[in-house]
Every structure is written in C-alpha cells, then in structure tokens.
Amino acid sequence: MLLRTAHQLTVENDGIVDTIALTGGTSRAHVIREICSHLEPYQVGEKPITGETVIAKDLTIDSLAIMDMVMELEDRFDVSIPMSVIAEIHTVDQLADTIQDLRAARG
C-alpha cells in the first residue's frame, strides 16, 4: 500500500495530511487525522505524534482514555475492532491500518 510509509510523516501537520490526501489515500489520512486529534492532548513535550508513536507507551494517555478513543473511533468509522486485533495494535499506523482494512472489508 502506497501510504504504508506514512509513519515517516508528521501527521499532526495539516499541510502534510493534505499531501497524503493528494497522493491518493484520502480516507487513511482522514483516519490518522482523527486518531491524532484524540491523542494530541497526551503528547509529551515537543515530540510530534507520528505513525510510529506507540500509543500506550510514548504518550501520557491512560488505559481508560485509550479504550474511550478506540470506542469513539469505532463509532466514528462504523467498524468494530475484534479484541484479538486490538491486542496486537501498538502504534498509530497499526490502528489506522486496522480501521482502514475493516472499512475496506465491509466494502
């Protein structure tokens, strides 16, 4: 997939998100933007949130807030992430890919 390399980008930057959109992954950029808007309050210092950010580790977000975020993303994108899949998600990229894949599978 073209945008597997998105983790190299600073996704909180709207300009770059627009670039992603232009290169053909509108919905993925959208998913990432949505995830980042949930995560921004938990950013540590100046270190930007990227696709490689390990959600439970690199940020100050607590486990209840992570659960809330996953639930809100599920509602927002109308998908249900199986618990076995959630258990294997560590990074922003993986979460975005999961949501993308579930949406694609639904057709």
Q: Which residues bind another protein (CB under 8 A)?
A: 44, 54-58, 60, 62-64, 66-67, 70-71, 82-84, 86-90, 95
Between 22 and 71, CB nearer to another protein: 71
Between 24 and 82, CB nearer to another protein: 82
CA 74 – CA 68 distance, rounded (Å):
10
Task: Report the nearest approach of another protein to the CB of residue 95 (Å).
Answer: 8
Task: Report the nearest approach of another protein to the CB of residue 85 (Å).
Answer: 8
CA 72 – CA 4 distance, rounded (Å):
24
